[in-house]
Structure 1
Amino acid sequence: MRAVREFVVAAAAIALVASCAPGSGSDDEGSQQTEDKKLTYLYFTDGPDEQATRNLLAEYKKKTGITVDLQIVPFDNLEQRLQARLSGSNAPDVARLTNIEPFRPDLLDLNTFQKASLDGKFLKGADAYVSGEGGELLAVPSDLTMNGPLVNVDQFKKAKVPLPDPKDPWTWDEMVKAAEKVQAANKTQNAIAMDVSGHRFSTMLSQYGTSFFDVSGKALAFDEAKATAAVKRFAELNDSGVMPKDLWLQAGTKYKGANEIFLAQQTPVYISGNWQVSAFAKEAKFNWAAAPNPCQEECGGFPGGKFMVSFKESKRQKQAADFIAFMNSKESQQRMAEEANFLPTRQDLISSGLTYPQRNADMQVYLADVARTPETAYGTTYSPAFSATATATVEELAKVLAGKATPEQAVGAIKAAAEKALGDVA
């Protein structure tokens, strides 16, 4: 998600103002002041972020007197519900999204109210994605995710297999070999599990030396030979039982996590991401740890994250922009990251680094992989064409695993889907 090597230290100047919102036509001053003391925030939760968010909302109310109504919806229904609300002229003031593309025409230019506090303060790799054609700031990257393996430390110890050095990552061959030894020693069903996700498989593609799109996210950068090598390896691992083949075959094109397999101790290596750290700290009944991403042609993982947006329809545009600025100030992002085990998106925080009060060693593994991740991975994940391409990738991989397509055919279909997705958003 970011051209990390270009980061510069930036200072945040946050102005929290609770004044009358533009576009609000009430003549009743008292009623207007009451309305200005409340914002609606459409939200989905990854788990530990909910309480961290509520803590920040309480602080915001204490500072401004403004109550933020946190309206939590299931992630699977987020886009559908938001589209319905926009169609019904019932837009929330603020929303948390993973994909801004379906809503781009509806988004408020945050620079209208908070340019000094927000513009240029975040991951440079996201600039093209969050900017409008005229330079508008349509969204703020509010947190960063990094894909990577988690390992069952107890099972590795039983198998007398050493964990990888965070400063000297596994190669893919080394990771597979280690995982198979641990599988055999512990008699687990599988050795490695990966979430059913085009986003997660993009990690493997990047490590094999290719991504869907270039740094800009607007041009194809898909190397078919390198992608075919990754797909062949993925298929071999599933066919041999190293990976749980049924997981991908049964999921269709929908996301399905492999976290239950890992928590049930039926795989010693689980390729997921940093959002699992807080969850596993509570749920895992065994010792576990984050491991650095394996290297092939490239090292590092694959980024993702969330965005905060407001809408042109909001009757409280200024207050919404002020709230987004508060939530993404240096202080707020640091607090959110530390409480929810998230990765920050602010250049100044990434430059200075963070020390986490819980599972700090695991989070430092993810932070280290941020710098190892190729810039094309950031361009790809922030490309408006990525979502459709990732969905097509899951569909084509399932065909390979079901014996209905060869890796070469799947890669050709994925390339065609990526080209179509770019054309659809042009």
Structure 2
Amino acid sequence: MKKKSLMKKIFLLLSVVMLFTLAACGPKPGSDQASGKKNVSLDFVWFSDGGEGDVMKGIIKDYEQANPNVKINLIEVAFKDLQTKLKTMVSGGKPPALSRVTDTGAFANQALDLTPYVGSADQFTQQFIDSLKPYYLINNKLVAAPMDVTANGLIYNKTLFNKAGVKVPTSPDNVWTWDEYMAALKQVTEKGGAKYGMVWDFTPHRWSTLLYQFGGSMISEDGTKATINSEAGIKATEMFKKLHTDGIMPTSVWLGGENPNNLFRSGTVAAHWAGNWMISNYKDITNFEWGVTYMPKGIQRSSVPGGKFVMALKGSGVEKESADFIKYLTTKDVNSKYNKESLFMSPRKDSSKLDYAFGKDMFEIFADELKNTSPLAANDWSRQILVTKFSTDLKNNLVEVISGKITAKDAMDKSAILIDKAISDASK
């Protein structure tokens, strides 16, 4: 009996030791059993302009399958509510892991510097078009990563141009001068039956394309003073007024608030100076043929870059996992998939030509416009906090020029005073 009792105690003791050994070797609580990595949840604040939200959900699903310890919660908000949502989460001490942003400067101080996670800032930035760099490399910190890029360009009514016998440039080697472009528009109105030569979006951003083509800028390269009232700025403003006074553009858009999209859709306008996102917007037009051609040049070619970015926030507790997901999103394969399926333009240098289901050739022209864009355009518009301080007044000053109340020089001088004040206030 004693022998049986001893054997029983030894067996129980060995069983306990074995259980402890298995527990020590097995996955820890809160970890993925297969990889041993801790389970994490990443909140990702997101807004959508179109169908890109569904594309992102598919990408997230693929990532989660490859990384079963990571769960990504897409928090969808309206674009108009984005900044308020982020500010509330950050000030409440619960920043999201990630956010899609347009204004990188507004949250640059709260952004995680991605540099330690990507190995080399130089190697990381070299993947993307140069004109976007000022938007996400702020004070030598990688505060975000580009997801898509936008450009201003020229959409035209093929039907009207063909009727007038006017051929558009088919190569960047033979783009119009401004004089040639205006002559072409006049011919399309006279012989093609167009009511107006062109419409131009009612925004300082779209207007500034003309400024850069004439060799100007809003702010000096070092950001210390206004340059908008240079000779180039005055000439660009005079040209903008001439387009209205000569009847090439209707005054109803800049003076009356008429929607330029609706005017172009009516089939009575030869061209629309707009952004690449209008390719997707106009794809349902069936009452006439339309396309994209190269913008004219002043002393140089130029568009204006913009885009949307993904940012990781400090203090989320999952900084490494957030940076890993950003690295995944910006790889060639994933970023190309995202932009191709969303009908966006990729910011990657090696993805300027994607096999879009619609508008492939048109996107390539917009990409070429970006390739030939003045670096001063990004230098200006990447200063987004600063620009918001004077952009509305700049627009109003341009309106006064068109309506004949002030001269181009007066408008640019008034704008320069406002820009200098904004720069001064920002430095205090």
With the shorter chain as reference, the TM-score category is 0.7 to 0.9
Matches of 1:284 and 1:37 in 2, distance apart? 49
Higher mean C-alpha displacement, 319-328 vs 377-386: 377-386
1:137 alignment counterpart? 142
Higher mean C-alpha displacement, 215-224 vs 377-386: 215-224
1:409 alignment counterpart? 410
Contact 1:220 1:419 survives alignment (8 Å): yes
Give the drift of 1:397: 1.1
1:19 alignment counterpart? none
Matches of 1:284 and 1:332 in 2, distance apart? 33
* Alignment match of 2:297 (pick from 284, 295, 298): 295
Aligned-partner residue type, residue 337 of structure 1: N
Contact 2:96 2:313 survives alignment (8 Å): yes
| Alpha-carbon spacing, 1:325–1:223, altered in 2? closer, same or farther (3 Å) | same
2:148 is aligned with 1:146 = no
2:393 is aligned with 1:392 = yes
2:58 alignment counterpart? 55
Give the drift of 1:152: 0.9
Number of residue-to-residue matches in the alignment: 392
1:110-129 deviation per Cα after TM superposition (whole angstroms, max 9, x unaligned): 22433359733434444444
Matches of 1:180 and 1:160 in 2, distance apart? 12
Aligned-partner residue type, residue 161 of structure 2: F
Give the drift of 1:387: 4.0
Matches of 1:336 and 1:199 in 2, distance apart? 25
Matches of 1:239 and 1:261 in 2, distance apart? 19
Contact 1:146 1:366 survives alignment (8 Å): yes
1:4 alignment counterpart? none
RMSD: 3.0
* Alignment match of 2:230 (pick from 224, 227, 233): 224
Matches of 2:266 and 2:209 in 1, distance apart? 24
SS in 1 for 2:206: helix
Contact 1:393 1:414 survives alignment (8 Å): yes
Matches of 2:240 and 2:117 in 1, distance apart? 48
Aligned-partner residue type, residue 399 of structure 2: A
Matches of 2:38 and 2:261 in 1, distance apart? 43
1:22 alignment counterpart? none
2:377 alignment counterpart? 377
Contact 2:227 2:416 survives alignment (8 Å): no
1:180 alignment counterpart? 186
Aligned-partner residue type, residue 341 of structure 1: L
Aligned-partner residue type, residue 166 of structure 2: V
| Alpha-carbon spacing, 1:348–1:156, altered in 2? closer, same or farther (3 Å) | closer
Give the drift of 1:132: 4.5
Gaps of 5+ in 2: 1-27
1:16 alignment counterpart? none
2:313 alignment counterpart? 311
Matches of 2:204 and 2:414 in 1, distance apart? 14
Matches of 1:279 and 1:390 in 2, distance apart? 26
1:206-231 deviation per Cα after TM superposition (whole angstroms, max 9, x unaligned): 11221123555566444522211111
What is the aligned-residue identity percentage? Answer: 25
Matches of 1:377 and 1:298 in 2, distance apart? 13
| Alpha-carbon spacing, 1:221–1:407, altered in 2? closer, same or farther (3 Å) | closer
Gaps of 5+ in 1: 1-26
Matches of 1:285 and 1:424 in 2, distance apart? 51
* Alignment match of 2:163 (pick from 137, 158, 162): 158
Higher mean C-alpha displacement, 181-190 vs 144-153: 181-190
State the structure with more CA Rg. Answer: 2
Contact 1:263 1:284 survives alignment (8 Å): no
Aligned-partner residue type, residue 311 of structure 1: L
SS in 1 for 2:50: coil
| Alpha-carbon spacing, 1:163–1:137, altered in 2? closer, same or farther (3 Å) | same
SS in 2 for 1:290: strand
1:344 alignment counterpart? 346
2:371 is aligned with 1:368 = no
| Alpha-carbon spacing, 1:399–1:221, altered in 2? closer, same or farther (3 Å) | closer
SS in 2 for 1:268: strand
Aligned-partner residue type, residue 215 of structure 2: G
Matches of 1:39 and 1:69 in 2, distance apart? 6
Contact 1:213 1:383 survives alignment (8 Å): no
Taking CA–CA contacts closer than 8 Å with sequence separation of 6 or more, which of the two structures ends up with the larger relative contact order? 1
TM-score for both structures, normalised by structure 1: 0.81
| Alpha-carbon spacing, 1:308–1:403, altered in 2? closer, same or farther (3 Å) | same
Give the drift of 1:30: 7.2
Contact 1:43 1:95 survives alignment (8 Å): yes
TM-score for both structures, normalised by structure 2: 0.81
Matches of 2:105 and 2:425 in 1, distance apart? 11
2:115 is aligned with 1:114 = no
Give the drift of 1:386: 3.6
Aligned-partner residue type, residue 199 of structure 1: H
Matches of 1:329 and 1:191 in 2, distance apart? 42
1:339-389 deviation per Cα after TM superposition (whole angstroms, max 9, x unaligned): 233332234445xx5454532211121122222222222322323434434
Higher mean C-alpha displacement, 116-125 vs 416-425: 116-125
